[in-house]
Structure 1
């Protein structure tokens, strides 16, 4: 028993020594934050996957800590929290800021795109060229993520979606409100974390949103019908603190630059598109209706 104890102690000492050496190699630790659920696809295989790629590309010199569930930042304040130094990197939705990032809201125009991957790359190029109203300077934009087109997620099945007949529909942007009104519905402005309770209590009879918001907050358990058409897309972006970026030496700034921009934007949208399509296909007891060309 004494021999086993000594061997166990030796293994613990070796393990502790190894972990200590690995920690000593990290010169910088990025605090990555999101208002999204820790169980959703933003915080699993997306932000963490990017953090892993940064760690690998930097040879372990940049480590990261990921905090979700709105503990450090929420949707609609991530940019400001990063600018204030609360987090070094944050995922957020520019559409929640009203006119502040108005140029980016072009992504919500109905019929603009069908493939978010191509749209995300095009949006990055337009932003980089200054065509969308100039550079965002209070934070460093790392990449855009054009999301799949909005769909209608309904509490109860409906025969005719060409006329919503006065139903109250939760949504989160002026463009979406215009679409809801044009279809005969009543738009109700909600933040994503308010979607579930509003649906559950019947305050709204449906949501005009993207699958990510539905699955991230378990709203899919309330949905009985989905109606898909090119109703207009949406956008998230990931931003970094200027102070954090400027604190990095040139070779580590190059690592961040290499994992940002056009290609990273396309990767982000492709991941979301494929993940959400898989989850939608797996829904049970939910009718998914697709609009015809007419």
Structure 2
């Protein structure tokens, strides 16, 4: 009980401070996220975004950036920290709350994502605008995006065929991806991406599935020996991210400052996140090549075997979503059409 009261008091105090500042038309927004400041997303999207907001508001909006969970809690708590007003801004992974953002999982389904994170992120924003506003109604969403195609990063021998995954302990980012890994024969281990380096170094896991981009700040390439990619127009999986703002903090802004936020939100910001992911993937892969790690790209016939093995993940998801009253196949069809549109297919 004391913990709940203390948390409510902290959120209330944060909001009272914000409202007072907004009344004076001088606002400070606390941005809390999981990655170190030198990682691509904080350094090349979040900081430039904050600088632009400050400049376009004439200095009336200040953004205080707290990277690497400096304000406490674990990454899965970030969305609630914004919802509850403990902080005003966060960038986080919706999959850290299994089942909470059910329709968002459409983009996490196997072999859904295009090879371009920018194209898929643009589709993700259109999908959000059509299908997900109710799912995130307790915050004010600024952008949504995905990362590039997921890659297998393994200690020891490379994964060259489906059977090589049997019994391998693999870190996965979300409920859907962990289900996929299990169906493919691995032993999935759910954990935030920031925990993967230690788990690899201690042998707790045999590998991890992440995009190339995040291998650099977490130095994954130095902890593994091999990497497995997938040929074809679709990647193995992706994860769904949201950059969002406390709803009361946004609603309490004067109209001119709301416009500053609005002018720097939406489709183009979502594309910017995705474009950076694509650039980061290229750089991350280059590091693995320079280090001499083995990189395997599965050919079309082998990829088809993985697609066949992953079909039960989609079938089970459709069944569960239909039972909740959603049109699961409609969501899948819309996502595929939107991705194809932005991928130029």
What is the TM-score with the length of structure 1 in the denominator? 0.85
Residue of structure 2 in register with 1:224 after alignment = 225
Corresponding position: 1:248 with 2:253: yes
Q: Deviations over 1:42-62 (max 9, x none)?
A: 221121011011122222222
The match for 2:204 is 203
1:67 aligned residue: 66
- Shift of the 127–210 alpha-carbon distance from structure 1 to 2, 3 Å rule, reads same
For residues 137-148 of structure 1, the aligned pairs below 5 Å read 137-148=137-148
Cα distance between partner residues in 1 of 2:284 and 2:162 = 26
1:276 aligns with 2:281: yes
Aligned to 1:81: 81
Deviation, structure 1 residue 89: 0.6
Paired residues of 2:108 and 2:238 also in contact (CA < 8 A): yes
Q: Secondary structure of the equivalent of 1:240?
A: strand
2:297 maps to 290
CA drift at 1:265: 0.5
Aligned mates of 2:159, 2:278 — CA distance in 1: 27
Q: 1: distance between equivalents of 2:140 and 2:118? A: 21
1:93 Cα deviation from its structure 2 partner = 0.5
Going from structure 1 to structure 2, the CA distance change for 1:36 and 1:159 (only over 3 Å counts) comes to closer
1:172-187 alignment runs, 5 A limit: 172-187=173-188
SS of equivalent to 2:41: coil
Residue aligning to 2:34: 35
Shift of 1:216: 3.0
Aligned counterparts of 2:106 and 2:273: Cα–Cα separation in 1: 19
Find the residue that maps to 1:226 and give its secondary structure.
Answer: strand
User: Which residue pairs with 2:320 in the alignment?
Assistant: none
| Length-normalised TM-score, structure 2 | 0.73
Q: Contact 2:32 / 2:87 at 8 angstroms: preserved in 1? A: yes
Max Rg structure: 1
Aligned-partner SS, 2:209: strand
Give the structure 2 partner of residue 155 of structure 1: 155
Q: Distance in 1 between matches of 2:220 and 2:28?
A: 34
CA RMSD of aligned residues (A): 2.0
1:26/1:63 contact within 8 Å kept:
no
Q: Is this contact kept in 1: 2:32–2:66, CA < 8 A?
A: yes
Unaligned runs of 5+ in 1: 1-24
Q: Deviations over 1:185-232 (max 9, x none)?
A: 211222223211211121211112223443332222102111112211
Report if aligned partners of 1:72, 1:87 keep a CA contact under 8 Å in 2: no
Distance 2:135 2:46 in 1: 23
| Partner SS for 1:227 | strand
Give the whole-Å Cα distance in 1 for the aligned partners of 2:270 and 2:241: 10
What pairs up with 1:10-49 in 2 under 5 angstroms? 27-49=26-48
Is there any run of 5+ residues in structure 2 with no aligned partner, and where? 1-23, 302-345
How far, CA to CA, are the matches of 2:185 and 2:135 in structure 1?
38
- Which SS does the other structure have where 1:267 is aligned? helix
Residues 1:173 and 1:135: Cα distance change in structure 2 (over 3 Å): closer
